[in-house]
Amino acid sequence: MDYQKLAARLFPDVVQTPQDMELRFPPRALPEGAVVSRMAPSPTGFVHLGNLVQGFTSERLSHQSGGVHFLRVEDTDAKREVPGAVQVLIESLRHYHITFDEGATVDGDAGDYGPYRQSHRAQIYHIYAKFLVEQGMAYPCFCTEEELGAMRARQEAEKVNFGYYGPFAVWRDRPMEDIEAELAKGTPWVLRFRSTGSIENKIKFTDLIKGNLELTENDMDHVLLKSDGIPTYHFAHAVDDHLMRTTLVVRGDEWLPSLPFHVQLFRALGFRLPKYAHIGPLMKMDGTSKRKLSKRKDPELALTYYRAQGYPTEAVSEYLMTILNSNFEDWRRANPDAPLESFAFSIKKMNPAGSLFDVDKLRDVSKNVISRMNAAQVYAYVLDWAQQFDPEFAAALSRDPMTSTAIFAIGRGGKKPRKDLAVWSEAKAYMGFFFDEFFVMEDAVDPKFAKADICLALRAFAANYNPADGQDVWFDKIKTIAQTLGYASDMKAYRASPDAYRGSVADVSMFLRIAVTGKLNSPDMYEVMRILGAERVRARIDAMLAAL
Ligand code: GLU
For residue 48, give the CATH number of its domain. 3.40.50.620
Residue 66 half-sphere exposure, CB side, CA atoms within 13 Å?
6
Q: Is residue 264 part of a domain?
A: yes
Q: How far is the CA of 250 from the centre of ligand 1 (A)?
A: 9
Q: Do 199 and 115 belong to one domain?
A: no
Q: Quote the CA–CA distance of 224 and 110 in Å, as a whole number.
A: 27
Q: Is residue 146 part of a domain?
A: yes
- The pLDDT of residue 466 is 94
Indicate whether residue 248 lines ligand 1 (CB < 6 A): no
Alpha carbon separation from 263 to 111, 195, 250 (Å, rounded): 27, 11, 15
pTM: 0.89
Q: Quote the CA–CA distance of 71 and 239 in Å, as a whole number.
A: 15
Q: Do 255 and 179 belong to one domain?
A: yes
Q: Quote the CA–CA distance of 412 and 373 in Å, as a whole number.
A: 8
Q: Do 455 and 415 belong to one domain?
A: no
- The pLDDT of residue 363 is 97
Q: Is residue 440 part of a domain?
A: no
Residue that is last in its domain, among 371, 386, 415: 371
Q: Quote the CA–CA distance of 103 and 82 in Å, as a whole number.
A: 19
Q: What is the pLDDT of residues 36-76, one digit of tens each?
A: 999 999 998 889 999 999 999 999 999 999 999 999 999 98
Domain count of the chain?
Answer: 5
Q: Is the pLDDT of residue 306 over 80?
A: yes
Q: Quote the CA–CA distance of 413 and 406 in Å, as a whole number.
A: 12
- The pLDDT of residue 82 is 77
Q: What is the CATH number of the domain that holds 320?
A: 1.10.1160.10
Q: Do 241 and 386 belong to one domain?
A: no
Indicate whether residue 74 lines ligand 1 (CB < 6 A): yes
Q: Quote the CA–CA distance of 362 and 448 in Å, as a whole number.
A: 39
- The pLDDT of residue 18 is 98
Q: Is residue 494 part of a domain?
A: yes
- The pLDDT of residue 79 is 74
Q: Quote the CA–CA distance of 194 and 479 in Å, as a whole number.
A: 88
Residue that is last in its domain, among 279, 309, 326: 279
Q: What's the mean pLDDT in 407-413?
A: 92
Q: How far is the CA of 249 from the centre of ligand 1 (A)?
A: 9
Question: How big is the chain, counted in residues?
Answer: 548
216's CB contacts (< 8 A; 6+ apart) are: 199, 201, 202, 203, 260
Q: What's the mean pLDDT in 288-317?
A: 93
Q: How far is the CA of 39 from the centre of ligand 1 (A)?
A: 7
Q: Do 191 and 253 belong to one domain?
A: yes
* Ligand 1 atom at minimal distance to the Cα of residue 237: 9
Give the residue among 375, 364, 379, 313 at the shortest CA–CA distance from 340: 313
Predicted confidence band at 482 (pLDDT cuts at 50, 70, 90)?
very high
Q: Quote the CA–CA distance of 446 and 77 in Å, as a whole number.
A: 63
Indicate whether residue 114 lines ligand 1 (CB < 6 A): no
Q: Do 89 and 57 belong to one domain?
A: yes
Q: Do 127 and 213 belong to one domain?
A: yes
Predicted confidence band at 523 (pLDDT cuts at 50, 70, 90)?
very high
Give the residue among 84, 92, 86, 42 at the shortest CA–CA distance from 303: 92
Q: Is the pLDDT of residue 78 over 80?
A: no
Q: Is the pLDDT of residue 524 over 90?
A: yes
Q: What's the mean pLDDT in 482-503?
A: 92
Q: Do 109 and 234 belong to one domain?
A: no
Q: How far apart are the first and last CA of the chain?
A: 99
DSSP assignment of 149-193 equals: HHHHHHHHHTT---SSBGGG-TTTT--HHHHHHHHHHT---EEEE
Indicate whether residue 262 lines ligand 1 (CB < 6 A): no
Q: What domain range is 400 assigned to?
A: 375-425
Q: What is the CATH number of the domain that holds 462?
A: 1.10.10.350
Q: Is the pLDDT of residue 228 over 90?
A: yes
- The pLDDT of residue 45 is 85
Find out whether 279 and 285 touch, Cβ atoms under 8 Å.
Answer: no
Q: Is residue 431 part of a domain?
A: no
Q: What single DSSP character describes residue 468?
A: T
Q: Do 461 and 520 belong to one domain?
A: yes
Q: Is residue 305 part of a domain?
A: yes
Question: Which uninterrupted H or E stretch holds 364?
Answer: helix 359-371
Q: Do 72 and 101 belong to one domain?
A: yes
Indicate whether residue 92 lines ligand 1 (CB < 6 A): no
Q: Is the pLDDT of residue 169 over 80?
A: yes
Residue that is last in its domain, among 257, 279, 301: 279
* Cα Rg, the chain, nearest whole Å: 33
Q: Is residue 23 part of a domain?
A: no
Q: Is the pLDDT of residue 253 over 80?
A: yes
Q: Do 362 and 241 belong to one domain?
A: no
Q: What's the mean pLDDT in 367-378?
A: 94
Q: Is residue 455 part of a domain?
A: yes
Q: Distance between alpha carbon 473 and the CA centroid of its chain, in Å?
A: 50
Nearest CA to ligand 1 atom 10: 41
Q: How far is the CA of 457 from the centre of ligand 1 (A)?
A: 67
Indicate whether residue 236 lines ligand 1 (CB < 6 A): no
Indicate whether residue 41 lines ligand 1 (CB < 6 A): yes
Give the residue among 518, 526, 494, 497 at the shortest CA–CA distance from 507: 494
> For the chain, what is the mean pLDDT?
95
Q: Do 95 and 105 belong to one domain?
A: yes
Nearest CA to ligand 1 atom 3: 41
